[in-house]
Amino acid sequence: MMTANPAAALSHWLAVESPTNDPAGVNRMMDLVAQEVAALPIAVERVPGRDGLGDMLVLRAGPDNGRQPALLMSHLDTVHPLGTAAGDLPVRMEGDRLYGPGVYDMKGGAWLALQAFKQVAAAGLASRPLVFLFTPDEEIGSPTSRGLIEQIGREAAAVLVTEPARLGGKIVTARKGVGRFEVKLEGRPAHAGSRHADGRSAIREAARQILAIEAMTDYARGITTSVALMGGGTAANVIPQHAWFSVDCRVTSLADGVMMESRILGLAAHDRDVAIRVTGGMNRPPYEKSAPVAELFETARRVAAGIGLDLQDCPMTGGGSDGNFTAALGVPTLDGLGIDGDGAHTLQEYALISSIAPRQALIKGLLETL
């Protein structure tokens, strides 16, 4: 059965703010999930958080028949800081739009997928075991959950990820790989007036390196590099001894990921008196539309057609997700199965209420069919 008022039920989730860096809020979301399935034939395993992050939750249901499970994956952390719901992005309904922190990315998809999971588990409609993994740290690259994602993913027959749909309800069958790097530079401080020539500016070296890194972007190959965070210096009248910046890198293939990681980690200073240290690497491998992914997509298209949807996928998207990890293991993975809407990571984030029922029915049908 469908929830009588899905928007109201989802609004209850939105009222619990859960930025990644607030483990208490993330864990309250995990509590809500556990409470929803408490009376159903669903086993609940809670994995304590670490490194200052929230817990993970693993739900298991379906027959114990030795078949490979179907795996659902959702994250319950969001990017919006505490207080957003009381300030710039209050939880509210305006026509078909439901606004609130994380409603599109991705509490809406997590909520509707949980309803589908509960329906299939309660009715005993699955032909293989079902696993639903909720994680606390996707928005920062899944540093504590990647191991469990890959462990459970390796055993799965297929993986369904409830990241938000692309505009028009399109799902995702390919994502770029994502790299994150930190660059730290140390020069030589000096008085900017009386001893200028003695100084070696870390900021000047950083500027040269940033231009070189940005120039590595190659749109034809699908490679992008960007520097969006930087800092340095101590005072306006001191040649800066220290500087730092962060690098974001996106690639379409494993080979390009290896190549770009080598280029960025191998950065060398132009000024021999400035030390440069680069850390990081490719933290999400590319998710390519392999033959097994294409076959799984066709299965989803048939399920969607049965409920009156003409399901389409979109070209490879630049954003990464936990689906990158399972796809890179060779496990057929479909992503973007969550709610439709727009405005992820912004103060205009909303979900389309009318998309809840068909997206829930699609996931229910997939869990029954796979």
Residue 195 covered by a domain: yes
Residue 271: domain span: 177-284
Q: What is the pTM of this model?
A: 0.91
Indicate if 11 and 142 belong to the same structural domain: yes
Last residue of a domain, one of 284, 311, 336: 284
For residue 269, give the CATH number of its domain. Answer: 3.30.70.360
Q: Tell me which of 256, 284, 312 is where a domain ends.
A: 284
**pLDDT beyond 70 at 81:** yes
Does residue 225 sit in the same domain as residue 153? no
1 lies in a domain?
no
Residues 155 and 237 in one domain: no
Which band of pLDDT confidence, cut at 50, 70 and 90, is reported for residue 134?
very high
Residues in the chain: 370
Looking at the domain assignment, is residue 145 inside a domain? yes
Whether 141 is covered by a domain: the verdict is yes
Query: In this predicted structure, what is the pLDDT of residue 167?
Result: 85
User: DSSP assignment of 163-181, as one string?
Assistant: PPPBTTTBEES-B-EEEEE
Q: How many structural domains is the chain composed of?
A: 2
Predicted confidence (pLDDT) at residue 168 exceeds the cutoff of 60: yes
Determine the average pLDDT of the residues in 305-319: 94
pLDDT score of 3 more than 80: no
pLDDT at residue 243, rounded to an integer: 98
Based on the domain organization, do 148 and 195 belong to the same domain?
no
One domain for residues 128 and 185: no
Residue 293 and residue 252 in one domain = no
Q: Are residues 234 and 152 in the same domain?
A: no
Same domain flag for 297 and 279:
no
CATH number of the domain encompassing residue 56: 3.40.630.10
Residue 128 lies in a domain: yes
Is the pLDDT at 287 greater than 60? The verdict is yes
Whether 25 has a pLDDT exceeding 70, the answer reads yes
pLDDT higher than threshold 90 for residue 1: no
pLDDT at residue 2 tops 80: no
Chosen domain end from 226, 252, 284: 284
Q: What is the mean pLDDT of residues 136-149?
A: 96
